[in-house]
Amino acid sequence: MSRFVEKKWRPPLMLVLGGSLMAILVLPIYGAIFADFLTPITGRRNAVYIVAVCAFAATLVLGWLLWRLILAPVQALAAKAEHIREGGAPTPMDHYGTPEIGELAQAVLDMAEVLQSREMAVRGYTDHVTHELKTPLTAIRGAAELLEGDEALSEEARRMAKTIVGAEKRAERLLSAARQIAAARIPEHRGSVTLTEAASGLKAKFPKFRIEVEGGDQELPLARSGLSVVLVHLVENAVEAGARTMTLKAWQDDDGVWMTVADDGPGISAGNAGQVFEPFFTTRRDMGGTGMGLAIVNTMLLAHGAQISLQPVEKGTSFQIRF
């Protein structure tokens, strides 16, 4: 057993539950016998009072034991899992109640450590690869641009050089998207921001694009930096698709905090709707699209406990985000 769970004896869960059921079964019987025994000494009424007080005390003790051995460790484990989900390190639990809950806690903490290690490895590998590929891509671009400017080249060779330049630019965009999606997997954008505050940055970045806001005072449980990444990608996709207006709406109900992002563009076909969040899926590949925008958005939201889905609408495109 690893460092997360301290080695000490704890009552098994079966013993705790069996003891509790046995106490519930036996206490009333012994209470009745004890009341009959006390009646000749104290009288019937006083005997009932004494038995009632003893039963209440026994119930408090049993309740405290169940809280201490089951409820409190389970609540602590849930809080620990939430802490890890928000980016915290998997640290030992102070109290784990029974061996079974201790094994569950150990499994959760081990899983969290493995997943965080994988995330760090993926991000480190992505950073390393994108950095190493940057130099040869720059050299390829420089050589292709020199070839393009050579007057002695044939027209076919010029077209080939132009194709090389375009492919290099696409590779640069893909590497940039790979860095963004690796960064989006890290839950570091904790905080909150109102929809109005988030939309103000969009209006400055896209001054010619009309952005309408409904429910601007609603606080969204994501830092402005993280929500900006989400909204910028959605607006860029809408602009590239030919949309002129986007409506941002936020509200809260009993199920949580919600947000919709809808535009008046041509929309997404039914055949493509199931693939829009897949990395590298794009219908604008010939225009330089990488197909990573919505994948970055989806990864960013999932890393912070939110979900995005494409909603069926008659016109345009509508995404719904549940925080």
Asked if pLDDT for residue 72 goes beyond 60, the answer is: yes
- For residue range 87-123, list pLDDT tens digits in order: 677 777 777 888 888 888 888 888 887 776 777 666 6
| DSSP character at residue 271 | T
- For residue range 11-47, list pLDDT tens digits in order: 888 888 898 888 888 888 888 888 888 888 888 888 8
CB atoms within 10 A of CB 81: 17
Q: Summarize the confidence of residues 311-322 as an average pLDDT.
A: 90
Q: 2: which residues sit within 8 A by CB, 6+ positions away?
A: 106, 110
Please, what is the Cα angle at 275 between 258 and 283, to 5 degrees? Answer: 110
Residue 125 pLDDT = 62
Residue 169 pLDDT = 77
Give dist(CA 180, CA 299) in Å, integer.
10
Give dist(CA 160, CA 168) in Å, integer.
12
Asked if pLDDT for residue 57 goes beyond 80, the answer is: yes
At 225, the pLDDT band (50, 70, 90 cuts) reads confident
Asked if pLDDT for residue 181 goes beyond 80, the answer is: no
At 286, the pLDDT band (50, 70, 90 cuts) reads low
Q: 250: which residues sit within 8 A by CB, 6+ positions away?
A: 195, 214, 215, 216, 218, 220, 257, 258, 259
Q: What is the DSSP string of 8-72?
A: -----HHHHHHHHHHHHHHHHHHHHHHHHHHHHHH-HHHHHHHHHHHHHHHHHHHHHHHIIIIIH
CB atoms within 10 A of CB 296: 25
Lowest model confidence (mean pLDDT) among 184-198, 217-231, 284-298: 284-298
| Locus of tokens 């029974």 | 98
Angle in degrees, 0-180, between the axes of helices 99-148 and 72-85, rounded to the nearest 10: 10
Lowest model confidence (mean pLDDT) among 164-168, 177-181, 287-291: 287-291
Q: Mean pLDDT highest for which of 47-56, 87-96, 164-173?
A: 47-56
Give dist(CA 28, CA 279) in Å, integer.
64
- For residue range 112-167, list pLDDT tens digits in order: 877 767 776 666 666 667 767 777 877 887 777 777 777 777 778 777 877 887 77
**C-alpha distance across the termini of the chain, in Å:** 36
Give dist(CA 220, CA 82) in Å, integer.
18
Q: How many residues make up the chain in this entry?
A: 323
Q: Summarize the confidence of residues 189-212 as an average pLDDT.
A: 86
Asked if pLDDT for residue 319 goes beyond 90, the answer is: yes
Q: What percentage of the chain has pLDDT greater than the value 70?
A: 86
Higher pLDDT residue, 88 or 229? 229
List b or e across 15-31, with b for residues whose CB sees 16 or more CB atoms inside 10 angstroms. Answer: ebeeebeebeeebeeeb
Residue 114 pLDDT = 78
